[in-house]
Structure 1
Amino acid sequence: MLIGILAGLTTGALWGLAFVAPRVVAPFSALDISVARYLIFGVVSVALMVLPQFRPTGLSWRMLAVGLALGAVGTFGYFLAISYAVLLAGAVLPPLITGTAPVLLAIVANFRERSLPWGRLAVPLLLIAAGLGVVNLASLQESATGEVGRLLGGVALSVFALLMWVAYGLANAVVMRAPDAPDALRWTGVQGLGCGALALLLLPAISMGPAMPDPDSAATLRFLLWALGLGVVTSWVGTYGWVVASERLPMALSAQLIVAETVFGLIYGLCFEQRWPTAAEAVGGLLQLVGVVVAVAIFSRRRIMPEPQTP
């Protein structure tokens, strides 16, 4: 279990970079960094399959399709949505919104297992809703009239990214907790193939023409270094860490570790903007964090996912 917890926390620290990457690589677009990152993820996955332990042998066609879809939609789609959300809404709102994923995953699991009275979830859910409300209202009040539309667009994309994260987390947990679960290395590679395939299809859509930065400029070098780091470390190592966490931990516990992504995302974003959080951001974030912790404490007393049954 300790290995699973450490793997989940490491993944949170790596995936939290998604909340700052699209701003660091400007003037390149969020689509540019997404395609470059996941193309590298795919290339690394293919290269590693030279070694037998990385090849997706023994997986059914159905399992391969699920893995490819998780990579292409759950991973690539999530990063693309959150990248544009950060560009529209700033560094604080998106991670706070996606930070509700642990509670949503726990709620979905409770719907499936009916292991906890819904009345016990009222307090954490109200705290989380209050935290999001404080930050959103403050952001809307402080925004100029022309920026409200951008802010609402960023909030909508953050919610969409949250739903994709929840779907990805559920599907990945179900696969890795099944009696015929694939090996973690092979499963990571399959998701990498899904990401790489989608990135290859989107390659013609990236920045072209005279508006593209000079290949020898500092901006281009920064973009390439970030794409390489995100593709190899954040994508491959991060995905492998989450697969290990999903394999070794019940969904109730692995879901709680998503909080690490939110915390690191907030830290990275505020460091990039070189500022402390505003009063509303601090209060809203604290309310949400307390709500998640309360929910974690409630669900940690019960196992909401039963051990897999042997056929």
Structure 2
Amino acid sequence: MVFLAPALTTAFSALQLAVGRYLLYGAVACALLLPLWPALRAQVDRRAWLALAGLSLLGNLVYFVFLAMAVHWAGGAAAALIVGMVPVVVAAVDARRPTALPLRQLAPALCLCVLGSLLVAWAALGHGAGAAGDAGKDIGQRVLGLLCALAALAAWSGYSIANVVWMRRYPHLSGHAWSLLTGVATGAIAVLLLPLALWLGPLGQSQGQWLHFAGICALLAVGASVLGNACWNRATRSLPLSLGGQLIVFETLFALLYGFIWQQRGPTLLELLAIALLVGGVVLAAQAHARWEKIHG
């Protein structure tokens, strides 16, 4: 949904969308954390809060602001393509560890993911500017959008790696608790950014537009942030880093699915081929990890 939300809230800036989403995320996280806090208080030290603040800034606010600008300026397909390269970046970084699955054994899976992502972008952009919602964008806007997508890729890759590292330092905290603590930290940062978002953002929205905006922010806060982060934290704690990175390819697939629903059309044959390549890459990666774990324990 994070790829579709910017297209549904064009009357608001990327920073306003990020601040709105994370204010609500912080509020919901606080409410859910209250009954758990007496048991967690002694387990969350100052170092954990500083880590959570850094992770929140990088993986939530910075990432989502750049992603929203990329969708506005380059279109959802291009943004999904570039952010969909997270598996390549994460696997390449993780392969440097002596005990990790070597990059050469992941190469077939990574090649399929890269090829599938390229076909996704080609198919979506070739479907027509009107269908993709990119009409009226000049080359300068597209270049800025692609640069923003690259920045979002860097932010999310860095977050994916750092989040796993910090979660392993606090194994007594569940993935759900870590997600709620991240929400509290993100909400606090969003409060600080609220005056800036209102000052720099566009003016003159109607009451109906604000209600629509609030609904989208609430959907993102509960669905993508509270539930999505809890599932992601559980997955990355249970899986090797490079395999967890591979699974982010499903974000690209769902970005396409919701995009098709929004555009009221089905995928073309080329798009179906791209989806098959992306899923095939994940399956090959899972098989490679299964073989590696069987041999090396």
Contact 2:81/2:121 (8 A) holds in 1? no
Structure 2 residue 225 is the aligned partner of structure 1 residue 235 = yes
Structure 2 residue 239 is the aligned partner of structure 1 residue 249 = yes
SS of the counterpart of 1:51?
helix
Please, which moves more after superposition, 54-63 or 184-193? 54-63
Correspondence for 1:176 among 167, 187, 196: 167
Note closer, same or farther for the CA distance 1:261–1:228 as it changes in structure 2 (3 Å cut): same
Give distance in 1, aligned partners of 2:211 and 2:136.
Answer: 36
Match of 1:214 in 2: 206
Match of 1:30 in 2: 14
Structure 2 residue 81 is the aligned partner of structure 1 residue 90 = no
Higher fraction of helix: 2
Deviations 1:159-210 (A, max 9, x none): 2212222221112222333464423343222211221122112211334699
Deviations 1:52-86 (A, max 9, x none): 44754322221221112111221222111111111
Note closer, same or farther for the CA distance 1:52–1:122 as it changes in structure 2 (3 Å cut): closer
Match of 1:264 in 2: 254
Deviations 1:76-123 (A, max 9, x none): 221111111111121212222222223332222211135444443444
SS of the counterpart of 1:302?
helix
Give distance in 1, aligned partners of 2:186 and 2:55.
Answer: 9
**Larger RCO of the pair (alpha carbons < 8 Å, separation 6+):** 1
Structure 2: which amino acid aligns with 1:238?
G
Contact 1:56/1:190 (8 A) holds in 2? no
Structure 2: which amino acid aligns with 1:156?
L
Give distance in 1, aligned partners of 2:99 and 2:256.
Answer: 33
> Deviation at 1:20?
0.2
Contact 1:71/1:194 (8 A) holds in 2? yes
Runs of 4+ deviating beyond 6 Å? 142-146
Note closer, same or farther for the CA distance 1:135–1:50 as it changes in structure 2 (3 Å cut): closer
Give distance in 2, aligned partners of 1:151 and 1:211.
Answer: 24
Match of 1:191 in 2: 182
Match of 1:58 in 2: 43
Give distance in 2, aligned partners of 1:119 and 1:186.
Answer: 36
What's the TM-score, normalizing by structure 1?
Answer: 0.78
Note closer, same or farther for the CA distance 1:129–1:243 as it changes in structure 2 (3 Å cut): closer
Structure 2: which amino acid aligns with 1:120?
Q
Give distance in 1, aligned partners of 2:246 and 2:114.
Answer: 18
Structure 1: which amino acid aligns with 2:69?
Y
Correspondence for 1:159 among 146, 150, 157: 150
What's the TM-score, normalizing by structure 2?
Answer: 0.81
Note closer, same or farther for the CA distance 1:230–1:136 as it changes in structure 2 (3 Å cut): closer
Correspondence for 2:66 among 81, 106, 119: 81
Contact 1:19/1:265 (8 A) holds in 2? yes
Note closer, same or farther for the CA distance 1:294–1:105 as it changes in structure 2 (3 Å cut): same
What percentage of aligned pairs have identical amino acids? 33
* Number of equivalenced pairs: 288
Structure 2: which amino acid aligns with 1:30?
A
Give distance in 1, aligned partners of 2:218 and 2:137.
Answer: 36
Note closer, same or farther for the CA distance 1:22–1:236 as it changes in structure 2 (3 Å cut): same
Give distance in 1, aligned partners of 2:292 and 2:263.
Answer: 40
Match of 2:216 in 1: 226
CA RMSD in angstroms comes to 3.2
Please, which moves more after superposition, 38-47 or 170-179? 170-179
